[in-house]
Structure 1
Amino acid sequence: MRTPKVFAVITIAAAGLIASTMAALAVPAVATTAVNVRSGPGVNFAVVDTLFSGEAVDVTECQGGWCYVEHPGPDGWVSGNYLQAVDNGGGNGGGDGGSDDAAAAAALNIFNTILGAVISNAAPPPPPPPPPPPAQLNGVYTIVQKSSGRFLDAYEGMNDNNVVTRNQQFNATQAWIITPLGGNIYTIQQQSNGRYLDAHEGINDNSVVTRNAQNNNTQRWKLTYLGNFTYTIQQLSNGRYMDAHEGVNDNSVVTRNNQNNDTQRWIIQ
């Protein structure tokens, strides 16, 4: 009677239950890609060999998504994601060889069912997509510098109506009317007086101010969504980013070249 060389690994790490080891029995499998063989079940163990794509191995134990393989090179552990169980076919023999083959096939089916995605060539699921941006800005919002948590504000009637950041005041000088012009271009008005966000244009730190409507690109701003209600704010006329000094009192708001840091990121809610 032929003893089927099929199966020692039914309860498997894919279900996270137990590791079964039976040295006399094994499940035939092939590597679905070139993959490292390691001295233990995990990436922290040393590499002892490499399977080539399509190389036949015998799997004798699995745990934690890793399977112990025997092959002509040094034996060791391989990630189950890169193995595919195979049927070793029928064989000659007398007696109840037919029932042996049926048992082998049944064991192989159970093996593949339990392993599922662990002994397969399936890639892990992709990460979830980033959350979509909120609906287009259109209304009254506060604008808060991410790095400091201070609120966009402005003087009224003096100092060329310079824009600053301040601690929260709960008033209309820190409320801003954002109006879409198309795409991600907007005007930004201080609610307390209706004046438009604008900025001087030069080389170094350019002061941001509020002014009466000019109907030009110094008062148009490109808002780019970064996630979590956070945006960069660029003056359309020159592409410079809204930024602010950081200190204790009124901190001047300016435009600067891109710094790629949180002083140029603004939370709009």
Structure 2
Amino acid sequence: MCSSPLLKIEDLVVSIEEKDILKGLNLEINQGEVHVIMGPNGAGKSTLGNVLMGHPQYQINSGSINFEGQIINDIPVDERAKKGIFLSFQYPEEISGVTVENFLRTAKMAISEKFISIMEFQKELKEKMDLLKIPHDYKDRYLNLGFSGGEKKKNEILQMSILDPKLAILDETDSGLDVDAVKIIYEGIKNFSDGKKSFLVITHYNKILDYLNPDYVHILVDGKIVTTGDVKLAQDIEKMGYENFKKQLGQ
């Protein structure tokens, strides 16, 4: 483990269109840790992921995001990606005219700032696709165009594997998938994890915990983390819901 956190968020207040979404959020993630964020709809879970990646639509009003000892509040998205932050989208974009292979190779070269030959990249890509049980001909299809929900989510995990980030933020990657697809995706995550990679998994689907053993589970309600625990906390949520946590905040 690092002597200091990989990611440290302090008193983060974030708004969109003058409405506060995150209201003094605090979170620390060390190297190699898996953190799960759960919470009711509208709590700010996806906002957190977008803000960490630098989405320009969100305004940081106060507080700080520290990554590897550097405040990154004002650093643009591409620089965050080069530093090793990755965000898997809840609703991946479809891009006509750009194949999966070309997109991933271009992104890999942009982040690594190194030239990668087509043959070298194809070898790595096919190996990663095999792990995720993605047919090789997917690499020649336009990015996410005509993909099923499961195919889009698998493609997000494929991107993560290729780009090799230090911190992977997975925003409801399991949403809308059947059990088999969820299993394949989270087996892909486990294969990618090497004890050094860190994960922030945003979800409301407890079934992922059948495949993923997080170090911490956080409950996010009304823009704040109200409690932190382990897998048992997620199991309690499944039984009782979020009402007790809302009551703590006077909702």
**Could you tell me the TM-score, scaled by structure 1's length?**
0.17
Greater helix content: 2
Greater strand content: 1
Q: Relative CO higher for 1 or 2, CA cutoff 8 Å, sep ≥ 6?
A: 2
Task: Point out the structure with max Rg over C-alpha.
Answer: 1
